[in-house]
Amino acid sequence: MAGSADEPLTWPPRGRWPRTVPDPSEAGLLALVNFQRNQTLISLPECNRINRQMTDSEDRRAPSAGKSSVRLIKVPEDRAGQRLDNFLLGQLKGAPRSLVYKLMRSGQVRVNGGRAKAERKLEAGEEVRVPPVNLAEVGDKSAPPAGFLQRMEQAIVFEDARLLVINKPSGVASHGGSGISHGAIETMRALRPNQNLELVHRLDRDTSGLLVMAKKRSALTELQALLREDHDGNGPGGIRKRYLTLLAGRMPDGVMSVDAPLHVGLRQGGERHVQVNAAGKPSLSHFKVLERRGGHSYCEVRIETGRTHQIRVHAQHIGHPVAGDDKYGDPAVNKRFREQIGLKRLFLHAASLEFALDGGKAPYVLNAPLAPELAEAMDQLK
């Protein structure tokens, strides 16, 4: 029972639990000793063990209506080396990236019983805990519009057992993110729910043209290895990339090679801005004039590196910015392009890719026709 203010207090100290006086009986003293013994600190491994037990207990609860149950997935051999976030996007088909990152931040996603960051590279045999997600509800909220799905399906220019390639329209992001609900990869996953599609590379949102997605992990890893090779594709391996662009002004005849390092910086508000800077990464582009119209230059560009905004910044660097480029171009020139030839977008198109898989035994030559709005703009140039 509670004691008076003059009576001694037992552990815990004043203010944390009601004050009590010791029970003078033998049983009461034994209970007090046992209570005090239980106040010892728990070690970190013991904490983790208890936490896993609590998580397992939650996992055994019956899922509520509309929710999937907790899944413990062993990473297969062909997914070894994949980032955790991309692995989860493949498992939670239809779930937006924002939800997947929220699950990881909250600790609901576990690898071998412990928390893990999005960029963690998984190893074969590791166990990933995928929490229950109401995918039906998520799907209702985030499904791409039917018209957009149809448009993206019509954009497919090549498909086989390993790859799916689209002619990405300008204005469509390669993947969803902040403020972008439906990127190209999310939309294609919605169209092909039974396939494990992964982006091989990215294109700027305003750039149209070839965007490659892998259906198999083996194709993804081989293509990403080829992308890392720093050469033009004439040697063994590599990816040969060809773009079409309209540059402001008259470029000189022949091939102009621009070897200028590029540095990615951030402007106020978090916007990326790239500039030529000696502290940047090596970057090499080759510009070749195909045709001149209206005092401007229609060019082919081959790049040996794949830096952010590389063609656009190199074009600006040589004094011939890409037509319609609101970030690196000339506002006055862009205004004339809009008024005279109806150009309302960036004139940059990823036209062709050449590479070989299976160690060079399976060659691929992919092409994407110039977007209709760019072809029309060229027709208007005199």
pLDDT at 26: 55
Burial code (b: 16+ CB inside 10 Å, e: under 16) for 246-278 equals: bbbeebeeeebebebbbbeeeeeeeeeebbeee
pLDDT at 99: 86
Residues 227, 160, 217, 142, CA torsion sign:
positive
The helix (H) or strand (E) run that includes residue 288 is strand 284-293
pLDDT at 230: 44
Measured between alpha carbons, how far is 338 from 247 in angstroms, rounded to an integer? Answer: 14
pLDDT at 91: 83
Closest CA to 291 of 246, 337, 258: 246
Residues of the chain with confidence (pLDDT) below 70: 1-68, 94, 135-142, 177-181, 230-237, 267-270
Active-site residue set:
204
**Mean pLDDT score of the chain:** 82
Give the C-alpha distances (Å, rounded to integers) separating 100 from 104, 105, 109. 6, 9, 9
Radius of gyration of the chain (CA): 30
pLDDT at 39: 52
DSSP state of 370: P
Inter-axis angle of helices 146-154 and 184-191, nearest 10: 90
